[in-house]
Chain A
């Protein structure tokens, strides 16, 4: 399958290249755009793996929702590019440390996949117990039976994060006029209109 391998190299190069551009690009909005491109090409890689459900979810959640909000914030930043460049050497050691730790972790995961005793059989039949059917069904069966509590737990964590963000940022400002739709709709004519007999030359 020449076409499949061509597509793989295209998506892989695009993913790595745009991921690199995320941290190299000077303009933060360009960084976000490259981040989106990286998400998108990894979705392409998922499709090549036959994981079409994950690919679509990646696009919907990360590109369609998370990155939009990211861009929303980044677009409104008022950035001084000269100042931005000055901190580079200062943060370099910490950044390098994080990079090394991540690299070691990836190496450990890859090594475990080769040397762990259960690995060969897991590789031979990744979804042996799930039977046939496309992967939306397989994932649904797995998430809502075996990993139900973990899945719900992840949902609760997200909910708490959301509530936390609202509690931290929300403050009640005094003197704001809010529209109360039900009050508007339930208003009757006799509450709103008053008939007055005005004598000529008197005014109200």
Chain B
């Protein structure tokens, strides 16, 4: 009995606790990201945004959540019921399981695996299924068109994201996310030497999360919200939460790959007083602000322009930069010794 407790039940309970310690703050962050978006966009467009429920509108996310929770879940008659219900769950779960490998500080990570970057890439490449399944199962033309657009868009931009990750790998010499951050401690943050890749990665992240200016899968002007048009109540809420959790995730990945993760900008007195996770949080917050800023500023791309940007601009550019980076690393013998 004691053995059972020590070997199985206690480790299992400990892992569940750790998972909750990541997921609960994340859910809160997602809820308040929606408020942040409405407030920040409000100020950018010279209006107030949500400021009525609670002080500064701070209770608005809770009110929204309660409202969605109490609504009726409608499943259309012609829909494929099982796939229709699985799709939002899939989106939601995939947005959260990627956090298992994200390091918040040196050693503060749920699962420190050797192939962390590949894991993140694999999870983000699965994200398309939630949307495609939703679009197909809804049995509606708008939803279906949105799903087709989304599938093409996400596959296109994954290619350049992959090449950006390869560049970082060539510089670091490891697929482990903690190693990637530690490599930036000795040198400089990677957004300085790899600046073009940083820009490409961030723009591809916008496309990968279906955010403005690449939100063609939703495109309310032409597709009346695309793949999620038939969804209501909590099924809709899961899509919504998944999308915002994906934004936070992409900001987190950008922070780790290019902005030095939990490291302070300078390792001197006033900066290194703040703990690492706080620096991580601040950097992610900055990137999320840029996400919102872009949404408030730019008009939506046309579909053929989106495809052109992905295949004819980003793909050759990132491929070229992989070759250049490798050449520099070999020529100056910079490859990290293992």
The answer to the question of B118 belonging to the interface, with a C-beta cut-off of 8 Å to chain A, is yes
Q: B125 contacts which of A2, A3, A52, A65 (Cβ < 8 Å)? A: A65
A30, A65, A68 — which one has the most chain B CB atoms within 10 A of its CB?
A68
Whether the pair B155, A69 counts as a contact (CB closer than 8 A) is yes
* Interface presence of A45 (CB below 8 A): no
Are A59 and B125 interface neighbours, CB within 8 A? yes
| Minimum C-beta distance from B82 to chain A (A) | 9
In the bound complex, do residue B126 and residue A136 qualify as a contact, i.e. CB atoms below 8 Å apart? no
Partner of B122, one of A64, A75, A136: A64
Chain B contacts with A in 42-99, Cβ cutoff 8 A:
80, 83
Residue contact A52 to B151, C-beta cutoff 8 Å? no
B8 interface residue per 8 A CB criterion: yes
A2 to B8 CA separation, bound complex (whole angstroms):
10
> How many chain-B residues does the 8 Å CB contact rule pick out?
30
Instruction: Please list the residues of chain A having a beta carbon within 8 angstroms of any beta carbon in chain B.
Output: 2-3, 27, 29-30, 33, 36, 52-53, 56-57, 59-60, 63-65, 68-69, 71-72, 75-76, 133-134, 136-137, 179, 181
Give Cα A59 to B144, complex, Å.
25
Report B-chain residues with C-beta under 8 Å of the C-beta of A27.
80
Give Cα A3 to B11, complex, Å: 12
Complex contact A33–B83 (CB within 8 A): yes
A134, B151: Cα distance in complex, Å? 34
Which one of B129-137, B230-238, B289-297 is at the A interface? B129-137
Q: A60-B121, A136-B175 are in contact. Are A75 and B136 (CB under 8 A)?
A: yes
Instruction: Give the residue of B80, B83, B155, B338 whose beta carbon is less than 8 angstroms from that of A137.
Output: B338
B147: chain A residues within 8 A (beta carbon): 75
A163 to B245, alpha carbons, bound, how many Å?
39
C-alpha spacing A92/B118, complex, angstroms: 41
| Nearest CB in chain A: distance from B201 CB, A | 17
A1 to chain B, nearest CB (A): 10
By the criterion CB–CB under 8 Å, are A68 and B8 in contact? no
Residues of B within 8 A of A30 (CB): 83
Most buried by B among A3, A56, A76: A56
Cβ-defined contact, B126 with A134, below 8 A: no
Can you add 16 more A-B contacts, CB < 8 Å, to A33-B83, A69-B155?
A: A29-B83, A52-B113, A53-B118, A56-B115, A56-B118, A56-B119, A59-B122, A60-B118, A60-B125, A63-B122, A63-B125, A64-B158, A133-B338, A134-B114, A137-B338, A179-B308
A72 lies within 8 A of B115 (CB) = no
Return the contact of B115 from the options A2, A3, A52, A64 (Cβ within 8 A): A52
Chain B residue contacts of A69, Cβ below 8 A: 155
